[in-house]
Structure 1
């Protein structure tokens, strides 16, 4: 047996599960991490470890370092056992984090990332929110549901989409929707697309700055421009201070507005041979081989 066990999120959850009382459950980020929701690592924005939260509405859980206890109500139907650990179901778990989120962006990001795992849909979350009338943070949850998207592939895309949707007030914004030319050829799948004006918005992290990836990105930008789409890029500095990105986006939208709708040479309506995957319902309906084939890019 190894002398050292890495302090992974799953290991922290497993250790905390040992003190869950008979009527309790692990909830919040820890329940989601145990179910391998991507990007949920048990750390806050500063990289500090978050405590594992145990719901214990009727019994006294043993408090210890790295664990917090919540006495919130919990219906028995929201408890489930996954690989030997008692958890709250994904709707209860993500709602717990969203209702406590300090910033609206953080609240929406929780929903985006858990929906991307197909453990929840936004319709399911809206129905669940209706059962929480009067609970702390319920207005925050409802607002986050109205701003969330089921097809986000990374946390940076949430920042990008909400900059356009909330800060700039652009209504027709979608995430990772395939774009086709008018002959049905797939041009690319942009991080975010402004449907109203026809502007592609992409987030470029460090991976995109050099080498083969940079050359690929330039070819991709050219392909979008050839069908009449404008193009704008967000970089890491723009997430901290989006003022210059907003200016560039306004300029791109102004250029795009000079192209009449009738002259657009692109569409998001897929050809008959394409299998769409931009909603949770669509992805849940896929066969295993289809998930492996069509969702590979999402896992990259």
Structure 2
């Protein structure tokens, strides 16, 4: 990343005034410049450019940008329509003003909420995710945001719950509390969370297990479905655009056949179902669950009890305890 610089009359620490007015340099904010060749679409570069505007005395990057900088790469700085979101600077006072690409939050900011990550002043991850949840559109969106922060292990449910207890009276805190009641530390993608919420809120069914590994009775790992109703014997999977690849689709069909051969019913949610789940995927889920319940008298060839050699990665605490080698090996299938 390229840190913005101020003009330098000698042209050493930065461009001269004349150079700054030329095409070789791009102004990122008042008095700060980067070379025009620097890609302003890269989220990390946008964050660095915004952070250069922070007051020297007090403040930090917050919201999606702080989560991204902490390693939660799902937060790419774009909304659901692909439009760029501003980088929010938490400064408590009004030393600077919002400008294109940069928003300013002047909410109270205790010192415990500030930290430094890889040389950049940010708020804590727990404050950043609560900020995103408090100002998002609704409780479902808040749950997606929290699930994705949990997926990247930058926060845990307990850490967020403890922080939310300190936010009585803050704007949007009700959305944080609702998300805490619906969140899942083992959701592997935002669309899995969307499907889970349709499953529970729209279809009115019991909360399914998320990414719980399924084994045959000999202890062999059969698969790890996005959602699993272990009582009914129903597997739920979200199929996004990557599942349209012919090789991937073939593997999906084989896995579905394997689940059914062991006594598990299967239901799929597709990208086109997201806009109106109550009229698309919900009837499909209910019909599949009815079929699954009708098969409950049949012998089950599957179990969710893991063999002794299985390494649990279903919680933030368990994942934080993994070695770097284990993380690379055991978590490589999760969505980035």
TM range (shorter): over 0.9
CA-to-aligned-CA distance 1:45-86 (integer Å, 9 cap, x gap): 111111111111135124332111111111101111112210
Kept in 1: contact 2:90–2:107 (CA 8 A): yes
- Asked if structure 2 preserves the Cα contact closer than 8 Å seen for 1:17 and 1:85, the reply is yes
1:170 equivalent in structure 2 = 205
Q: Of 136, 141, 144, which residue of structure 2 is paired with 1:109?
A: 144
Confirm whether residue 224 of structure 1 aligns to residue 283 of structure 2: no
1:17 maps to which residue? 51
- Residues 143-222 of structure 1: matches in 2 within 5 Å? 143-222=178-257
Residue in structure 2 matched with residue 282 of structure 1 by the alignment: 318
Task: Give, in whole Å, the separation in 1 of the partners of 2:43 and 2:242.
Answer: 26
d(CA) in 1 for partners of 2:167 and 2:117? 24
1:252 — aligned with what?
288
Gaps of 5+ in 1: none
Shift of 1:262: 7.7
State whether residues 172 and 195 of structure 1, in contact with CA within 8 Å, keep that contact through their aligned partners in structure 2: no
Q: Distance in 2 between matches of 1:59 and 1:209?
A: 50
User: Which secondary structure does the structure 1 equivalent of 2:194 belong to?
Assistant: helix
CA distance in 2, matches of 1:47, 1:172: 30
Other structure's SS at 1:297 match: coil
CA–CA distance in 2 between the matches of 1:23 and 1:287? Answer: 35
| TM-score with structure 2 setting the length | 0.85
How many Å separate the matches in 2 of 1:166 and 1:47?
Answer: 26
Aligned counterpart, 1:37: 72
Structure 1 pair 88–261 and aligned structure 2 pair: CA distance change class (3 A): farther
CA distance in 2, matches of 1:98, 1:201: 26
The Cα of 1:143 is off from its aligned counterpart by 0.5
1:4 aligned partner = 37
Gaps of 5+ in 2: 3-34
What secondary structure is seen at the aligned counterpart in 2 of 1:30?
helix
Contact 2:266 2:288 in 1 (8 A): yes
1:75 is matched with which residue: 110, 114, 132? 110
Structure-1 separation of matches of 2:321 and 2:135: 32
Residues matched between the structures, number: 300
Q: Deviations over 1:96-151 (max 9, x none)?
A: 00011112221111101110111111121111111111211111101001111111
Q: Which moved more, 1:163-172 or 1:86-95?
A: 163-172
Of the two, which has the highest radius of gyration?
A: 2
Deviation at 1:265, TM superposition (A): 2.4
More helix by share: 1
- CA RMSD in angstroms, aligned pairs only: 1.7
